Structure 1
Amino acid sequence: MKRRALLQALALAPLLAAGSGLMRAMPAQRVLRLGAPADTPKRVFAAGAPAAVLIAALAPERLLGWPMRVSPEALALLPAPLRALPVVGRLAGRGSTVSLERLLAMQPDLVLDAGDFDANYRSSAERVWRQTGIPIELVAGRLPDHPAQLRHVGRLLGVAARGEALAQAAEAQLALVREVLAARPADARPTVYYGRGGDGLESGLAGSINTEVIEFCGGRNVAAAAGNGCLARVSLEQLLAWDPDVILTQDAAFAASAPQDPRWRSLRAVRSGRLHCAPTLPFGWLDGPPGINRLPGLAWLLARLHPGAVPALAPGALHARIDALHRLLWGSRLPAGTVAALERGR
Structure 2
Amino acid sequence: MAERNVKIPANINKVLSVSPATTTAVYMLAPEKLVGWNMKFSPDNAKYILKKYQKLPMVGSWSGKNDINYETYISMKPDIVMDNSENNSITKVRQQKLGNIPVVVVHDLDTQNFVPYITFMGKVLGAKQKADKLISFYNNVKKEVESKVSNIPDEQKVKVYYAEGPKGLQTDYDSGPSAFKTNYASLKNNQHTQLIYLCGGLNIARGTGINNTSEVSIEKVLQWNPDVIITNNPQFYKSVYSDSSWQNVKAVKEHRIYLTPTKPFNWVDRPPGINTIIGIPWTAKMLYPDKFKDMDLNKLTKEFYSEFYHVNLTDSDINVLLNNQQ
Determine if the TM-score, normalized by the shorter chain, exceeds 0.5.
Answer: yes
TM-score, normalised relative to structure 2: 0.87
How far 1:201 moved relative to its partner? Answer: 1.2
1:228 aligns with 2:198: no
What is the rounded CA distance, in whole Å, between the counterparts of 1:305 and 1:324 in structure 2? 22
Mark the CA change 1:234 to 1:337 in structure 2 (over 3 Å): closer, same or farther: farther
Mark the CA change 1:183 to 1:343 in structure 2 (over 3 Å): closer, same or farther: farther
Instruction: Identify which of 41, 66, 69 aligns with 1:99.
Output: 69
Counterpart residue number, 1:15: none
Counterpart residue number, 2:302: 323
Kept in 1: contact 2:2–2:88 (CA 8 A): no
| 2:319 counterpart letter in structure 1 | V
Look up the SS of the partner of 1:231 in the other structure. Answer: strand
Look up the SS of the partner of 1:56 in the other structure. Answer: helix
Counterpart residue number, 1:137: 104
Look up the SS of the partner of 2:207 in the other structure. Answer: helix
Superposed counterparts of 1:261-276, under 5 Å: 261-276=243-258
Residues 185-240 of structure 1, C-alpha deviation per residue, up to 9 Å, x if partnerless? 33211110001121111111113211121122121111113643121111111111
Counterpart residue number, 2:170: 202
Counterpart residue number, 1:46: 17
Counterpart residue number, 1:176: 144
Mark the CA change 1:192 to 1:140 in structure 2 (over 3 Å): closer, same or farther: same
TM-score, normalised relative to structure 1: 0.83
* Structure with bigger gyration radius: 1
1:153 aligns with 2:121: yes
What is the rounded CA distance, in whole Å, between the counterparts of 2:153 and 2:312 in structure 1? 35
| 2:268 counterpart letter in structure 1 | L
Counterpart residue number, 1:301: 283
What is the rounded CA distance, in whole Å, between the counterparts of 2:241 and 2:55 in structure 1? 39
**5+ residue gaps in structure 1?**
1-29
What is the rounded CA distance, in whole Å, between the counterparts of 2:266 and 2:320 in structure 1? 17
Residues 122-170 of structure 1, C-alpha deviation per residue, up to 9 Å, x if partnerless? 2111111123232111212211332222221112111111111111111
Counterpart residue number, 1:18: none
What is the rounded CA distance, in whole Å, between the counterparts of 2:279 and 2:3 in structure 1? 28
Aligned residues: 307
What is the rounded CA distance, in whole Å, between the counterparts of 1:75 and 1:148 in structure 2? 29
**5+ residue gaps in structure 2?**
175-188
How far 1:34 moved relative to its partner? Answer: 5.4
Look up the SS of the partner of 1:144 in the other structure. Answer: coil
Residues 71-90 of structure 1, C-alpha deviation per residue, up to 9 Å, x if partnerless? 22222112233211011111
Runs of 4+ in 1 over 6 A off after TM superposition: none
Identity over aligned residues, as a percent?
A: 27
Instruction: Using the TM superposition, name which of 254-263 and 225-234 deviates more.
Output: 225-234
